[in-house]
C-alpha cells in the first residue's frame, strides 16, 4: 500500500547532507509521490521545487510566493509564476496565504500578493495550496471573494484549525491536508476535524522538515514519516490504514494530477 506526501520542503538546507537518502527512504517506506513546495527562499528563487521534480520521477512541484516573502513579489515575479505554471510537473500554485503570527511581510502586502496569486492560478486552472496562521477569518474572506467564484479546488495545508474552521474550508470546496500535528496528544481540535471530515476530502503531508509526527516528534521530519500520520488518521477514524492510504492517494490524484501538463 502506497501513500503520497502532498507537501514537503525537500529543498530545505536541513536536507543538504542527505537529500538523496531521504528520498530513497521515502520510496522504500511506500511513499509513491512527494510534492516539493516551490516557495524556496522567496523571490527570485521560484524554481526550488521544479528543480527537484525534474531530477526525480517521484517528485512533483508547486510554485508560489509564501506570505513571509510577500514584500519581495513584483510584476516580474508574477509573470515568472505564470510561466512556471506551464511546466509539466507543476501541479499547483502555493503555498500562498496569510501569516499574522510572524508578520515577516506587511499584512496589506500579504493580502495583495495572495489575491494576485489566486488570480494567476485561476487563469491557469490550477489548484492553490493555502497557508494560514492566526489569520483564519481574513483568509476565508479572501477565499470567498477571490477563489470560490472560480469553482476550482485547493488544499488547506497542514490543517491546524478548529472543527469549525474545517467546515468553512470544506464549504469552499477545499481539501484538508493533515500533517504531524494530528498525531500530537493535545491537538484535540485538529483530531476532531480529522474525524469529522469527509473521506473524499482528506490528504496527508509531512511539511518536512517541520512538525515530525509521533513517534518521531522532536526530530527532523522527512517524507517517509507520512506513513505515521496516515496510520494515526486511520486510528482516529476507526478505519484501516489501507483504506485511508488508498483514499488519500485517490483524492490527491483527482485533485492534482489532471492538472499535470494541462497547459503545456
pTM of the predicted protein model: 0.95
pLDDT tens-digit readout, 29-41: 999 999 999 999 9
On average, the pLDDT of the chain sits at 95
195 alpha-carbon distance from chain centroid: 20
What are the angstrom distances between the C-alpha of 138 and each of 53, 91, 132, 147?
33, 26, 9, 13
Q: CA 79, CA 75: separation in Å to the nearest integer?
A: 6
pLDDT tens-digit readout, 180-234: 999 999 999 999 999 999 999 999 999 999 999 999 999 999 999 999 999 999 9
Q: What is the pLDDT of residue 263?
A: 40
pLDDT tens-digit readout, 143-184: 999 999 999 999 999 999 999 999 999 999 999 999 999 999
Query: 166: closest CA among 187, 145, 185?
Result: 187
Domains of the chain, first to last: 3-259 (3.20.20.140)
Half-sphere exposure of residue 261: CA atoms within 13 angstroms, side-chain side: 2
Q: Is the per-residue pLDDT at 258 higher than 90?
A: no
Q: Is the per-residue pLDDT at 76 higher than 80?
A: yes
Q: What is the pLDDT of residue 155?
A: 98
Q: CA 96, CA 81: separation in Å to the nearest integer?
A: 12
Q: CA 25, CA 18: separation in Å to the nearest integer?
A: 11
At 102, is the pLDDT very low, low, confident or very high (cuts 50, 70, 90)?
A: confident
Amino acid at each position: 500500500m502506497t501513500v503520497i506526501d502532498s507537501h514537503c520542503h525537500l529543498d530545505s538546507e536541513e536536507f543538504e547532507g542527505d537529500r538523496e537518502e531521504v528520498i530513497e527512504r521515502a520510496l522504500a517506506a511506500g511513499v509513491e509521490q512527494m510534492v516539493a513546495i516551490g516557495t524556496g527562499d522567496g523571490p527570485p528563487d521560484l524554481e526550488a521545487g521544479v528543480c527537484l521534480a525534474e531530477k526525480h520521477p517521484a517528485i512533483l512541484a508547486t510554485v508560489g510566493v509564501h506570505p513571509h516573502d510577500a514584500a519581495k513579489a513584483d510584476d516580474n515575479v508574477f509573470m515568472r509564476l505564470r510561466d512556471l505554471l506551464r511546466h509539466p510537473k507543476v501541479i499547483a500554485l502555493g503555498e500562498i496565504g496569510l501569516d499574522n503570527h510572524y508578520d515577516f511581510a506587511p499584512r496589506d502586502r500579504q493580502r495583495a500578493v495572495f489575491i494576485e496569486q489566486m488570480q494567476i492560478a485561476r487563469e491557469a486552472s490550477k489548484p492553490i495550496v493555502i497557508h494560514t496562521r492566526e489569520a483564519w477569518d481574513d483568509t476565508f474572506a479572501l477565499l470567498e471573494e477571490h477563489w470560490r467564484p472560480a469553482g476550482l479546488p485547493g488544499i488547506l495545508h497542514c490543517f491546524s484549525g478548529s472543527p469549525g474552521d474545517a467546515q468553512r474550508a470544506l464549504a469552499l470546496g477545499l481539501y484538508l491536508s493533515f500533517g504531524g500535528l494530528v498525531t500530537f496528544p493535545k491537538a484535540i481540535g485538529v483530531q476532531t476535524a480529522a474525524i469529522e471530515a469527509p473521506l473524499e476530502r482528506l490528504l496527508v503531508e509531512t511539511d518536512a522538515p517541520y512538525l515530525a509526527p509521533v513517534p518521531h516528534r522532536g526530530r527532523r521530519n522527512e517524507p517517509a514519516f507520512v506513513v505515521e500520520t496516515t496510520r494515526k488518521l486511520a486510528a482516529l477514524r476507526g478505519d484501516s490504514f489501507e483504506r485511508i492510504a488508498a483514499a488519500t492517494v485517490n483524492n490527491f490524484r483527482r485533485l492534482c494530477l489532471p492538472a499535470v501538463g494541462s497547459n503545456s
